[in-house]
Amino acid sequence: MKYVDEFRDGERAAILEREIRALAPRLPRPPGRALQIMEVCGGHTHAIFRYGIEAMLPPELELVHGPGCPVCVLPMGRIDDCVAIAERPEVIFTTFGDAMRVPGSRKSLLQAKGDGADVRMVYSPLDALALARANPEREIVFFALGFETTTPSTALTVLQAEADGIANFSLFCNHITIVPTLRAILEGGDVNIDGFIGPGHVSMVIGTTPYDFIASAYRKPVVVAGFEPLDVLHSIYLLLRQLVEGRCEVENQYARVVPNAGNRTAMAAVERVFETREFFEWRGLGSIDGSGLRMRDAYAAFDAERKFAVPGLRVVDPAACQCGEVLTGAIKPWQCGIFGTACTPEAPLGALMVSSEGACAAYYRYGGVPAAAGARG
């Protein structure tokens, strides 16, 4: 298939694999540990597992699967709020498919649907708006989640609803931003990330300049990467080149999609509808300052949090979960005490087992490395 097969070409992959292995002996050797590269985005994690990329890398190098899976980092309390809204008789609750199975403290949206709540899977916030038009007697709530990748489409949908005078549509806003979270990870205690594979589609919106501080203040290289397997492999190569040459720069491997300045129109729409929350709770990582968005007062009429009294209770992550340590690279998924036993994709306890982009689910499903396979045994 055109524009897909070119980026999955085995021969080109073999060339990159050789180049990466050739760089390996010249890489800096941090004492007592492997060199760690974090891929921030869940989409990259997915590609790494789906195409078996870890097995192509030299043993000196370790990939850390970062916090960029918006479904995984949703805290239980927010899912409880979703369920509470969805269970109101007047509400049609709309959501992206992969949020359906995320466990709340009582139940998931899938279970709520089974129990009679009107929960519908949509593929775009505009589908939810169309439902609002078609069902004027019902309240349509869209479960808005995701990083900067999805925020502009939500913002534009709200602006469309405002322009069309649609009063029975609102958002349950859980949009989050990646930069404060990267900062929190870099400032965290025993974190040893040596370089970052930067988000691709987030950067399509915000550009590459927001990552400059990682290179300048923290002296870590960043390569913004596409999501095809060759993109990922190429980005790893570019990162290793920087490490070998002692450079710390923000490079753009995904220039075919990501303009360095981002998309100003999209950012303006986001700016108009949303503002930064003081803090937002992340599953596995805890509360992070300035990492979430809420609706501005001017759009209060479209804010489900204000329209419906949501419980808004904080639910602590299960004590046995070590998601936070996995997310920051302190341990590997299979080193978690409950990986594959109390926590499986069928009955996920921890956030990272929930979505196919979660590192634990990916290890469990694709068993990318022998160690993980052994742990599953």
Partner 1 sequence: MNGVAVHEASRRLGTIHVPSVTLAHGGGGKAMRDLIDDVFVRAFANDHLDVGSDQARFDLAALAQYGERLAFTTDSYVVDPIVFPGGDIGMLAVCGTVNDLAVGGATPLFLTCSVIIEEGLRVDTLRTIATSMAVAALRAGVCIVTGDTKVVERGACDKLFINTAGIGVIPAGIALDIGTVRPGDVLIVNGYLGDHGATILAARGDLAIDAPIESDCAPLGDLIAALLRAAPRTRFIRDATRGGVASVLNEIAVASGIAIEIDESETPLRAPVKGFCEILGLDPLYLANEGKIVAAVPPDQADAALDALRAHPLGYDACAIGRAWAGEAGRVTMRTTFGGTRIVDMLVGEQLPRIC
Is residue 177 a contact residue for partner 1 (CB under 8 A)?
no
Question: Quick one: which of 38, 53, 82, 179 contacts partner 1 (CB under 8 A)?
Answer: 53
Which token pair is 291?
């990492």
Instruction: Find the binding residues for partner 1 in span 15-44 (CB under 8 A).
Output: 17, 43
What is the x/- site pattern for partner 1, positions 219-238, by CB under 8 A? Answer: ----------xx--------
Which contacts (CB < 8 Å, 24+ apart) does range 182-189 have?
182/40, 182/211, 182/214, 183/213, 184/285, 184/288, 184/289, 184/291, 185/38, 185/66, 185/67, 185/327, 185/328, 186/214, 186/218, 186/220, 188/328
Residue 56 found at the interface with partner 1 (CB under 8 A): yes
List helix spans (H) across the chain. Answer: 10-23, 42-50, 76-86, 109-114, 125-134, 151-163, 179-187, 201-206, 212-216, 229-245, 264-273, 304-307, 323-327, 359-366, 370-376
Select from 222, 234, 228 the least CA-distant residue to 19: 234
Tokens matching residue 250:
């923000």
Cα separation, 139 vs 136, in Å, equals 8
> For residues 20 and 25, what is the distance between their CA atoms, to the nearest angstrom?
10
CB of 55 to partner 1, least distance (A): 6
| The only residue of 154, 235, 263, 356 in contact with partner 1, by rule CB under 8 A | 356
Residue 281 near partner 1 by CB under 8 A: no
Q: Which is nearer to partner 1, 28 or 52 (CB)?
A: 52
**Residue (221 or 350) nearer to partner 1, CB:** 350
- What binding mask, one character per residue, do residues 62-101 give for partner 1 by CB under 8 A, x or -? --------xx------------------------xxxxxx
Reduced to 3 states (helix: H, G, I; strand: E, B; else coil), residue 271 is helix
Q: What does the block give as tokens for 204? A: 């399509």
Interface stretch with partner 1, choices 116-124, 166-174, 247-255, 314-322 (CB under 8 A): 116-124
The answer to whether 194 and 36 are in contact (CB under 8 A) is yes
Give the residue, chosen from 6, 14, 261, 264, that forms a contact with partner 1 under the rule CB under 8 A: 14
188 vs 367 by CB, closer to partner 1: 367
Q: What is the number of residues in the chain?
A: 377
> What is the identity of the amino acid at 286?
G
Lay out the site mask for partner 1 across 186-205 (x = CB under 8 A, - = otherwise). ---------------x----
Nearer to partner 1, 194 or 357 (CB): 357
138 binding partner 1? (CB under 8 A): no
Identity of the residue, 42 or 284, whose beta carbon is nearer to partner 1 in the bound complex: 42
Report d(CA 121, CA 70) in Å as an integer: 17
In the complex, least distance from residue 366 CB atom to partner 1, rounded to whole angstroms = 5
For the bound state, the minimum distance from the C-beta of residue 202 to partner 1, rounded and expressed in Å, comes to 9
Q: Closest distance between partner 1 and the C-beta of residue 316, in Å?
A: 25
- CB contact set of 221 (below 8 Å; sequence gap of 6+): 195, 196, 215, 239, 242, 243, 247, 248, 249, 250, 251
Residue 342 within binding range of partner 1, rule CB under 8 A: no
Closest distance to partner 1 from the beta carbon of 206 (Å)? 14
* 145 contributes a contact to partner 1 by CB under 8 A: yes
Q: Which residues of 100-128 are buried (b: 16+ CB within 10 A; e: fewer)?
A: bbbbbeebbbbbbbeeebbbeebeebbeb
* 242 in contact with partner 1 (CB under 8 A): no
Binding footprint of partner 1 on the chain (CB under 8 A): 1, 4-5, 8-10, 13-14, 17, 43, 46, 49-53, 55-56, 70-71, 96-101, 110, 121-123, 127, 145-147, 149-150, 201, 229-230, 345-346, 355-357, 364-368, 373
